[in-house]
Every structure is written in structure tokens, then in C-alpha cells.
Amino acid sequence: MEQVTERFLRYAKVFTTSDPESSTFPSTERQLFFADQLAGELREIGLQDVTRDQYGYVTATLPSNDNNARQVVGFVSHMDTSPDFSGANVNPQLVKNYQGQDLVLDEEQKIVLSPADFPELLKYIGQDLITTDGKTLLGADDKAGIAEIVTAMDFLFRHPEIKHGKIRICFTPDEEIGKGTKHFDVEQFGADFAYTLDGGEIGELEYENFNAASAKITVKGRSVHPGSAKNTMINSMLVATQIIHALPPTQRPEHTEKYEGFFHLTGFTGDVSNTKIEYIIRDHDLAKFEARKNLLREICSLINLQCGQRTVTLEMADQYFNMKQKVEPVKYIVDLAEKAMNDVGLTPKIIPIRGGTDGAQLSWKGLPCPNIFAGGHNFHGPYEFVPVQSMQKAVEVIVRIVELVGKQ
């Protein structure tokens, strides 16, 4: 437990935020600094074939110590933190033996982590929590996953009596901006299947995620003097709001859960002459996903019929797809993770991801890759926290999966 805690506290302080506006890969050079740091640590532990390539991917091997083991399992986590909130100068706080009280993270800014707002805190009474200082995010997404994988590999290297097959690990850049697998070489990685350690609370196990698309809509208006605007002016901002109100208001993120999809407005900028709005579109069901995209196309087409064919321009692009289609044919890998959790005293929570992970894109690239909890809560903001005991259990789950795979 001390090892995984020490590693996470050390990793959290490294500035690795990715940048969605960057044209480089990785999007920020600071991720390469962390990648080099991790590669050095893996060599010190005793792993083999440790590389940090030109794109920032860190890969390594723990060789098999069992001649009967045939399958190669992989474990993957990402190095970057979200650009949604500051990841610079992270100052993690360790709260030992939490007793259900409010935690004042930043007294000056009145940032308080309270069970009144976050009742899940009460699940961890008597445990040790790592929180922010209220000024940054924490980075448990996904440095908790990295700390857990490295600690598990260290443990396995030092305990050769635990028999296992070949193990491959990879730490990826730019996951938070949707590019984590862009240059991931599945064939070179050489695993039969893998697991991302990138989930939330303890016990989570996921092999379903959203189908995802982005939509950028440009509305071209006609600006004339408002005193003589009758039957002439086209206010692009008002046309843009027509599109917004034409989409079902109950199908927004704030009104949906579980398997329910949504349209999420992520950007609105404009004036009378020109307005741009941006959406992300999500649904677990592929047919419903396609229907959502078609609905947006139809709305834009109808407005063009009303206002003129050049008024609205829609650019839509698929981002990722539900991994379920690729994992179900080899669902025994989910069953392995479920058994591993049961074996270490956890009750698995098999739920759909209301988002995406590297694992989703890796599954579609030919590497089936379910997602396992890393233990954190309230990602991408100052209220983020991770229980130390959850990270320790994740280490135990990794070790147990390795044992079970070796027996396949």
C-alpha cells in the first residue's frame, strides 16, 4: 500500500496536461518528460524491452516465468491529465482515517469536499483519501492506473513464486483529447488482449461504452441595420438557437443516465453575421446513434429550406465506437477480470461507460480491451479524490488476473 501511494503522490505532481489545440503528437512536450521518467523507473524495477518511442508511448515486458502459459496479457493507462482544469503545480493532500467530515481543500476560495455534495465519500469512512488542495485537479485519471500497474509489475518481479505468462504494459499520451491510440502499434505490442486501468470507483468493470461523434455547425447570417432589417436580416445567433431547441431537451447529459444517449452542446460563439455551435453526440446503441446523427442532419436541412441553402453548414465526424461488439466474442476476458475481483474480496460492478477510453479504440484496432477501476472520483476538477485502499485493491486485481491468465 505504501508503494502504490508513494508512486501516485509522486506522479500526481508531474505536469502532464494535454492540449486539444496542439498540432503535435503528443500534444505537449511535458508528457515526454513523464514518459522518460516512467521508462527509467520500469528499467530499475527489472522489466525488459522498455521503450519510449517518438510519439511518447512507453512499453515494457515482464517475461513469462511459466513454460505452460500461452497467452500474453497487457495493461494500459494514460499519462496525460485533462485540459478541463489546471494540472500544473498539483499538490496532493493525504487524509488518513477519514471519518465522514467536510474536507476544506482551499479555505480562501471556499472549496470544500463535503459528503453533502458528494455522498460517495461516506463509503470510505476509516480509509485514507488523497485529495487536491482545491487549486488543481488531482490526476487520478489516470495516474492512479499507472501507479497500480507499476506497483503490480514490481510486486510480480519480486515474487517469482507467482506463476504467470508474458505481460506487456503500455502508457499512452493524449487520451484525454481523444488521440491516445492514434499511433499505438497493436502488432508490436504483442498482447492477445489487454485491460485499461482507467475506471472510476472500486469494483467497476466495463466492456461497453458510447458510440461517439462530434458536430460543428456554422450558421451564416445576414447583417443589416436594425432600423431597416424587416424581411432582410438573418440573425445567425437566433438561427443557431433554433437548432438547439429543435433537439429533444430531455436528451441532454443533465437528464440522462445508464444506457441513455444524449446531445451535448459544448460550444456557442457568434454574432449577427456568423455563429458557430459545437455538439458531441453519444449513444450505446449503434442504431440509435445513427438516428441521432440523422436527426441533426434533418434539422439543419430544414433550416436551410427556410432560410436559404447556404445558411447552415454541418460538419460531423465519428470519434469512437462501442467496444462491446469487439469484446463480446472473447467475453471470457471480462469473466477473468470478474473472477479476479471476486477472488480478492470485491463485488464487481459491471456497468456501461458513459464516455470512452483508450480501450474502446484499442478494441476496434484489434486488441480487445475492457476497462477496470483505478479508484478515483470526481475527475477533471478540484473535488477529485482517490482512496488509497481502492488503489491497493486494483493492484491485487492485476496480480490475480495475471495468475488466472497463466492458467488458461
Question: Cα(378)–Cα(144) distance, rounded to whole angstroms?
Answer: 13
For strands 58-62 and 48-52, give the pairing. Answer: antiparallel
Q: Which residues contact 387 (CB under 8 A, 6 or more apart)?
A: 124, 127, 128, 129, 130, 202, 375
Catalytic residue check, 161:
no
Catalytic residue check, 80:
yes
Beta bridge partners of 172: 78
Question: Per the structure block, which three cell numbers stand in for 306?
Answer: 427556410
Question: Cα(266)–Cα(258) distance, rounded to whole angstroms?
Answer: 21
Question: Per the structure block, which three cell numbers stand in for 115?
Answer: 459528503
Question: Cα(382)–Cα(138) distance, rounded to whole angstroms?
Answer: 7
- φ/ψ region of 160 (left if φ > 0, alpha if ψ in -120 to 50, else beta) reads alpha
Please identify which of the residues 41, 174, 175, 204 carries the catalytic annotation. 175
Please identify which of the residues 41, 80, 148, 198 carries the catalytic annotation. 80
Residues labelled as active-site residues:
80, 175
